[in-house]
Amino acid sequence: MSVKNMIPALEWLPNYKKAWLQGDLSAGLTVGVMLIPQGMAYAMLAGLPPIHGLYAVTVPLILYALLGTSRQLAVGPVAMVSLLTASGISALQPAGPEVYLLFAVTLAFLVGIIQFGMGLFRLGFLVNFLSHPVISGFTSAAAIIIGLSQLKHLLGIKLPNSEHAHEIVISAAQHIGETHWLSLAIGLISIVVIKYARYIHKALPGALLAVVAGILAVWAGGLAEMGVRIVGKVPQGLPGFSLPAFDLGTWQVLIPTALTISLVGFMESFAVAKAIQAKHKNYEVNSNKELVGLGAANIGAAFFQGYPVTGGFSRTAVNDQAGAQTGMASLISSALIVLTLLFLTPLFYNLPNAVLAAVILVAVAGLIDYKEAVKLWRNDRSDFWMLLATFVITLTLGIETGIGAGVVLSLAVVIFRSTRPHVAVLGRVPDSNFYRNVERFKNLELRPDVLVVRFDGPLYFANLNYFKDKMDELSAAKGNALRLIVLNADSISHMDSSAVHALEEWVKDTRKRGIAVSFTSVIGPVRDALNRWGLVDVIGEDHFFMNNQQAVDAFTEKQEANHFQEYVLQAN
Amino acid sequence: MSVKNMIPALEWLPNYKKAWLQGDLSAGLTVGVMLIPQGMAYAMLAGLPPIHGLYAVTVPLILYALLGTSRQLAVGPVAMVSLLTASGISALQPAGPEVYLLFAVTLAFLVGIIQFGMGLFRLGFLVNFLSHPVISGFTSAAAIIIGLSQLKHLLGIKLPNSEHAHEIVISAAQHIGETHWLSLAIGLISIVVIKYARYIHKALPGALLAVVAGILAVWAGGLAEMGVRIVGKVPQGLPGFSLPAFDLGTWQVLIPTALTISLVGFMESFAVAKAIQAKHKNYEVNSNKELVGLGAANIGAAFFQGYPVTGGFSRTAVNDQAGAQTGMASLISSALIVLTLLFLTPLFYNLPNAVLAAVILVAVAGLIDYKEAVKLWRNDRSDFWMLLATFVITLTLGIETGIGAGVVLSLAVVIFRSTRPHVAVLGRVPDSNFYRNVERFKNLELRPDVLVVRFDGPLYFANLNYFKDKMDELSAAKGNALRLIVLNADSISHMDSSAVHALEEWVKDTRKRGIAVSFTSVIGPVRDALNRWGLVDVIGEDHFFMNNQQAVDAFTEKQEANHFQEYVLQAN
């Protein structure tokens, strides 16, 4: 592996073109301005003081810009990972904010190590096991949980931290009478500003506007004395060095969360990185290098008072639209945050929590995707149930259980489906060599003495009994006239040793009943397996054909020449 | 469900033919004679006093004869289930023999309930998940563990009960100096008698002969005083009524063992039942009814001082060879055991444990199957590793872990394999409509502007990235001349919603690059999915063909008529 291979930035940094600068500068500043409110809001969602959301976009951004393969990906705190951080750490019941922060940087460290390791060991493919319905159901449910977690800031009431939707709803219903109306008003106005500012002018940064307006309102109106909760003192200056806990006990408890964040965070990040790369095509994104880049970013977060980060969907889209050409845009965003930390943090003292809650609510509202559910209900009922199961489990039993159950369920369906593959009886399209499913095509030619069957899937240990039962059923339906079974094998993609044994037995049994067996369109790897096991000799070379018609013709020929009996018993 | 449907015996019992009696009588007596030593030996293996092995073939045999669907299956104690019983109960560290027995009947009760329930809910298919290599590796390892567990009786020394092979071996090595040579001699002679009696006369019951000789030798020679361990006092009479423990705590600990016994026992039993039925064909065996029958037999064992039973391989074979026609044979075996219990048990006082150990050793020696391993090594390397993993895990980490790991590993391989299906580039067999894999056939016609690809497996969430990467790789190999990709879909057995989304994206991307996409031989269920999602419209009806040549011809036609550009962009 060359150095250039390890540090993708070496592809663009040494040859940096002046022409790129305008786009990178514009994108970097735009995303930086977005990052100020979002970073603080997501840190609050993660249960941390808002400043750590800004710390998390200093060193990590630089590391990703150097090691990541995407040139437009905007790394930093995102809603889902922040929620996972909160739920993972709460489970540990940390004693005070210092311990909470220690657990947060430890989590970032573990996520970094896991992602880095997955990248080195090329385990990026693991993310393939998250199916579309599982992601959709999980994301919608997580968005609802995130939204509910902000209710307390929006209503200005006390609610327990929980990742179980029903618990928050019940508790909120009990405390709804204590609503702090001024906080609610600030929150609602902020939502309107954040959501609709861009209709006034495309480049108007709604969230920043809401932040500024919120601060001014609290400062001018003395709203803090009227019970509006504010961010309070925000430390000034760059993040200090921090050390994660090196304590096996803590690690053990955090590792399930770290694994979930590693996978979910990578998945979100990689999906958007791929989508943007597909537009540009002047570079490649590589799943394993992306893992290394994100892993490095998280390790950076761990040592500079940050918390787990990943590539975010919305900021990446903005980065791209604003013209980002290279990782330089991220470096500029990071520089803007550094300047903010150095000079602007005292200004955030009067920022109302309700404004930050509004930032989060607007961000996650877009993640609730009921349209996909409706589409699946219409087009793929099995995947609809998968989405619903993941959604309900995530909402009621928690985030990690939800995604875990989703993955296990969707793999179980894959396995279950493969135990009962589609089986079609084929008939001949008149005057042709084509054979088609008799249940789907009309006017097909069927001979009473010939059964042509296509088995659509690998033949392996878990579907052998289904194969035999189905064959028995189909032969029985043909009755006593049956003299030839043609097994159209073109969609039998694999045969394991159990299948070879069972097939041998089936062929012998069928021939004992006076019925010939032929195979057509057997694909290469299956032919290899049959050869290795000597089954080609048992069946007889001359019982394998390129297509169904050849098999039927050969049989007819033998029958007409009165050689049928030998043909059946061939090689037995 | 009719009564006849629920009680399969009503098919043969009311119409019992005189002609059947001779076979049933001969088989029933032969198996009964086998059951006396085997039942006692297996009970000893299960950690119970030998008499419980005879109790276990009274009521259970009658229940299976009435409710089971096989007419030759010989139900009763078997080696594997006895070992599982011993290992499951030892884990509970029962305080004294009464508690041990209570746990044994409770285990039989739980196995009965589980099997009965699985039968009612038609879960018999679960046994399909045990693949051939897993069963083979597991059985060989279990046979070795069983054999090792009898070392203490054979050598006449004290060894700890363990289901970890290495522990027994180490302990035996430490105590080998204490070997009781007389016991060892009795054991070795018994092994020779049991194994070779049938070479003197086919019908000579070797095990019974060894038992009789052993008893006589101990009685005549006063061997018990010389340190030969004997069975001792065996109670006379029929088993009393027993109640399983109805205690959730006990159940919780026993349930993993009960589940393993239910599945492994059923698997062994069903495999032999099917094999024998395939010979007779005058009745049907049904997996769910078999579960009900075995479940009832186990519940019967629970209430009459037995322990878990199932259909045994060797006794069933003997039953069939001796001419069993119906369940009447089992009723006769049971009657013989009842007579033994009533009148003969005092004779077993002087029976040496070493003889029973010999019965077990001979029975399990045949289960060690290294030939299958050799065959797999030669013919299916992946299945060989599966066998070896199951074998090693069973031997070192225990029986239940072994079979559990085997099932999980073999399903993981199925999943992993389906994430990287076989993909073939096809070329035309000259002057024909056949297309074949270019890596397997020579002299195929390949056009520089056409890529024909066959994807051999379902297209679903976990292999979408592989599909896209592979397509990119194959298109790149074709270079700039490429104008048409034909996706030969006949072995794509299924497409889920994630696949449909990804395929739509891939088709649009490919067309944007100026390359036309056509589909051939799409099977019914996949065509349905594409239709439901509207993808047939996106791709265009006229881009679907019956075979590859039609797709290439249609493309050539458009190209010659200068309609290529519209053809590519069709419906975009």
Residue B139: inside a domain, yes or no? no
Residue A451: inside a domain, yes or no? yes
Q: Which of B382, B404, B429 lies at the terminal end of a domain, its last residue?
A: B382
pLDDT above 90 coverage of chain A, percent:
62
Residue A380: inside a domain, yes or no? yes
B493 and A434 within 8 Å at the Cβ level: the answer is no
| Chain A residues in contact with B498 (beta carbon < 8 A) | 131-133, 383
Distance from CA of A478 to the nearest CA of B (A): 18
Mean pLDDT over residues A411-427, rounded?
91
Query: Which among A411, A491, A509 has CB closest to B278?
Result: A509
At residue B230, φ and ψ (nearest 5 deg) are -120, 165
Distance from CA of B279 to the nearest CA of A (A): 10
For residues A371 and A442, membership in a common domain is answered with: no
Nearest CA in chain B to A532: B379
Query: Which among B440, B458, B497 has CB closest to A133?
Result: B497
- Token output for A193: 């500003």
| Chain B residues in contact with A376 (beta carbon < 8 A) | 497
Which residues of chain B fall short of a pLDDT of 50? 571-572
| Chain A residues in contact with B434 (beta carbon < 8 A) | 546-547
Distance from CA of A320 to the nearest CA of B (A): 19
Mean pLDDT over residues A157-163, rounded?
82
User: How far is it, in rounded angstroms, from Cα A106 to Cα A85?
Assistant: 11
Distance from CA of B47 to the nearest CA of A (A): 34
DSSP string computed for A75-141: EE--HHHHHHHHHHHHTT--SSHHHHHHHHHHHHHHHHHHHHHHHHTT-GGGGGGS-HHHHHHHHHH
Mean pLDDT over residues A424-453, rounded?
92
Distance from CA of B59 to the nearest CA of A (A): 31
Range of the structural domain that residue A552 is part of: 420-569
Q: Which of B330, B361, B382 lies at the terminal end of a domain, its last residue?
A: B382
Residue A399: inside a domain, yes or no? no
Most confident listed range (A111-120, A521-530, B264-273, B490-499): A111-120
For residues A450 and A358, membership in a common domain is answered with: no
ipTM: 0.80
Mean pLDDT over residues A429-444, rounded?
90
pLDDT in the model for residue B569: 66
| Chain A residues in contact with B376 (beta carbon < 8 A) | 497
At residue B505, φ and ψ (nearest 5 deg) are -60, -45
Band (A572; pLDDT cuts 50, 70, 90): very low
A493 and B130 within 8 Å at the Cβ level: the answer is no
> Is the pLDDT at A517 greater than 50, yes or no?
yes
Count of CA atoms in the C-beta half-sphere (13 A) of A279: 14
Distance from CA of A366 to the nearest CA of B (A): 20
Q: Which of B362, B382, B402 lies at the terminal end of a domain, its last residue?
A: B382
User: How far is it, in rounded angstroms, from Cα A152 to Cα A154?
Assistant: 5
A497 and B132 within 8 Å at the Cβ level: the answer is yes
For residues A236 and A137, membership in a common domain is answered with: yes
| Chain B residues in contact with A379 (beta carbon < 8 A) | 497, 500, 529, 532-533
A414 and B456 within 8 Å at the Cβ level: the answer is no
For residues B122 and B30, membership in a common domain is answered with: yes
Nearest CA in chain B to A132: B498
pLDDT in the model for residue A570: 57
| Chain A residues in contact with B130 (beta carbon < 8 A) | 461
Mean pLDDT over residues A278-299, rounded?
90
DSSP string computed for B366-400: TT--HHHHHHHHHH-HHHHHHHHHHHHHHHHH-HH
For residues B230 and B373, membership in a common domain is answered with: yes
At residue A384, φ and ψ (nearest 5 deg) are -60, -45
For residues A373 and A462, membership in a common domain is answered with: no
Distance from CA of B565 to the nearest CA of A (A): 22
- Interface size A-B, in CB pairs within 8 Å, comes to 174
pLDDT in the model for residue A309: 97
Residue A205: inside a domain, yes or no? yes
Ranking A511-520, A523-532, A562-571, B168-177 by mean pLDDT, the lowest is A562-571
Please give the model's pTM, rounded to 2 decimal places: 0.81
pLDDT in the model for residue A78: 94
For residues A479 and A330, membership in a common domain is answered with: no
Query: Which among A129, A524, A533 has CB closest to B424?
Result: A524
Residue A410: inside a domain, yes or no? no
Query: Which among B424, B465, B491 has CB closest to A491?
Result: B491
Average pLDDT of chain A to the nearest whole number? 91
| Chain B residues in contact with A497 (beta carbon < 8 A) | 132-133, 375-376, 379-380, 383
Do residues A53 and A39 touch, judged by C-beta distance below 8 A?
A: yes
A422 and B493 within 8 Å at the Cβ level: the answer is yes
| Chain A residues in contact with B503 (beta carbon < 8 A) | none
| Chain B residues in contact with A525 (beta carbon < 8 A) | 422, 456
Do residues A420 and A455 touch, judged by C-beta distance below 8 A?
A: no
Query: Which among A380, A439, A498 has CB closest to B131?
Result: A498
pLDDT, one tens digit per residue, over A346-371 is: 999 999 999 999 988 988 888 888 99
A415 and B410 within 8 Å at the Cβ level: the answer is no
pLDDT in the model for residue A401: 86
Residue A408: inside a domain, yes or no? no
Find all residues with CB under 8 Å of A174, minimum gap 6, and list them: none
Per DSSP, the three-state class of A284 is: coil
Find all residues with CB under 8 Å of A562, minimum gap 6, and list them: none
| Chain B residues in contact with A419 (beta carbon < 8 A) | 125, 128
pLDDT in the model for residue A571: 46
pLDDT in the model for residue B20: 93
Q: How many domains does chain A have?
A: 2
For residues A361 and A235, membership in a common domain is answered with: yes
| Chain A residues in contact with B466 (beta carbon < 8 A) | 125, 128
pLDDT in the model for residue A392: 95
B461 and A131 within 8 Å at the Cβ level: the answer is yes
For residues A362 and A442, membership in a common domain is answered with: no
| Chain A residues in contact with B128 (beta carbon < 8 A) | 419, 461-466
Among B435, B439, B496, B536, most A C-beta atoms within 10 A, so best to mutate, is B496
For residues B318 and B440, membership in a common domain is answered with: no
Q: SS3 letters for A433-500?
A: CCEEECCCCCCCECCCCEEEEEEECCECHHHHHHHHHHHHHHHHHHHHHCCEEEEECCCCCCECHHHH
A462 and B129 within 8 Å at the Cβ level: the answer is yes
A525 and B422 within 8 Å at the Cβ level: the answer is yes
Which CATH number do you get for residue A438?
3.30.750.24
Count of CA atoms in the C-beta half-sphere (13 A) of B477: 12
> Is the pLDDT at A52 greater than 50, yes or no?
yes
A418 and B417 within 8 Å at the Cβ level: the answer is no
Distance from CA of B480 to the nearest CA of A (A): 16
A524 and B376 within 8 Å at the Cβ level: the answer is no
Residue A313: inside a domain, yes or no? yes
| Chain B residues in contact with A422 (beta carbon < 8 A) | 493-494, 523-525
Q: Are strands A310-311 and B544-545 parallel, antiparallel or unpaired?
A: unpaired
Among A284, A379, A470, most B C-beta atoms within 10 A, so best to mutate, is A379
> Is the pLDDT at A565 greater than 80, yes or no?
no
B383 and A497 within 8 Å at the Cβ level: the answer is yes
For residues A363 and A430, membership in a common domain is answered with: no
Query: Which among B128, B380, B434 has CB closest to A419?
Result: B128
For residues A305 and A424, membership in a common domain is answered with: no
